[in-house]
Every structure is written in structure tokens, then in C-alpha cells.
Amino acid sequence: EVQLVESGGGLVQPGGSLRISCTASGFTFSDHWMSWVRQAPGKGPECVANIKQDGSLIFYVDSLKGRFTISRDNAKNSLYLQMNSLRAEDTAVYYCARAIRHSYDYWGQGTLVTVSS
């Protein structure tokens, strides 16, 4: 059974940094593109970033380039998102998702990131 478990969310002050993680199981992690998708309260999902199997190709949503960094460790079946210079509008549930054929077929349960003073 495919499982994606996010962790590391919490309350952070504006301008602060946070690193969230996702641990995958139930499939060969190194065979798949992986992604972060976020959903602000009461809003629809928003793609954040996609990373290729070996990390050699990464796509970011333009509005987040330079502040967020996606990375992965295939030996640990883990996906990461480093978030810097956080703003109130970054408050959202952040989902880890498996990407396949230009879609997301499995999602984690999400981790809530709240940016507030």
C-alpha cells in the first residue's frame, strides 16, 4: 500500500524558516517524480514544486522561486521542502504527492504550516 507521511509543520513567525519532510513507503520511491502541493485555508490546491527521480530536474511555481527548495534522499525514501522568508500567505496544509504522467496519483495526509506572529 502506498503511504506518504508528512511531518515538520507548525507555527513559524513571518520571515522565519521551516523544513518539512515526507516519508514514502509501499512503492519504489526512486522510480517516481515527487511533488509538494499546498492548500491554503478554504482554497483550492496549488502546485509548489516537482522533482525528478534523481533530483536532476526540478520545477517550481514561479511565485515561490528563490524562497522554497525541494529536495529528496532516495536512500531514506524521503522528500523535503525547505521554506525560507515565510509570509502569512504561505499558511497552508502542505501535501506530499506522487507525480505520474502529469498528475498526482497519491497524496499524504498533509502537514499544517502556520505563519503568524
Partner 1 sequence: DVVMTQSPLSLPVTLGQPASISCRSSRGLVHSDGSTYLNWFQQRPGQSPRRLIYEVSNRDSGVPDRFSGSGSGTEFTLKISRVEAEDVGIYYCMQGTHWTWTFGQGTKVEIK
By the rule CB under 8 A, 47 interacts with partner 1: yes
Binding mask 5-34 for partner 1 (x = CB under 8 A): ------------------------------
Q: Rule CB under 8 A: which of 64-93 touch partner 1?
A: none
By the rule CB under 8 A, 107 interacts with partner 1: yes
By the rule CB under 8 A, 62 interacts with partner 1: yes
Q: Residue 46 or 91: which CB sits closer to partner 1? A: 46
Say if residues 86 and 12 touch (Cβ distance below 8 Å).
Answer: yes
User: Going by C-beta distance under 8 Å and a sequence separation of 6 or more, which residues neighbour residue 6?
Assistant: 20, 21, 22, 94, 95, 96, 108, 109, 110, 111
Whole-number Å distance between alpha carbons of 93 and 110: 6
> Of 72, 64, 61, 81, nearest to 8 (Cα)?
81
By the rule CB under 8 A, 54 interacts with partner 1: no
By the rule CB under 8 A, 101 interacts with partner 1: yes
Q: Which residues pair with 22 in a beta bridge?
A: 6, 79
Give the binding site for partner 1 (CB under 8 A): 44-47, 50, 59, 61-62, 95, 101-105, 107-110
